Amino acid sequence: MPTELVIFDCDGVLVDSETLGNRVLVQFVAEFGLALELEEAILLFKGCKMADCVAVIEQRLEQKLPPDFVTQLRARTAEVFEHELLPVEGIEAALDKINLSICVASSGPLEKIKLALRVTNLLPRFEGRIFSSYEIGSWKPAPDLFLYAAKKMGVQPSSCTVVEDSVLGVRAGVAASMRVLGYTNQSEATLLESFGVTVFDSMCQLPCLLSYH
**CA gap 70, 109 in Å, rounded:** 12
**CA gap 199, 194 in Å, rounded:** 10
Beta bridge partners of 198: 181
**9 included as an active-site residue:** yes
Q: How far is CA 47 from CA 9, 156, 207, in A?
A: 9, 24, 24
Which of 6, 32, 4, 31 lies closest to 146 in space, CA to CA? 6
CA angle (36 as vertex; 34, 39 as ends), nearest 5: 165
Instruction: Indicate which residues carry an active-site annotation.
Output: 9
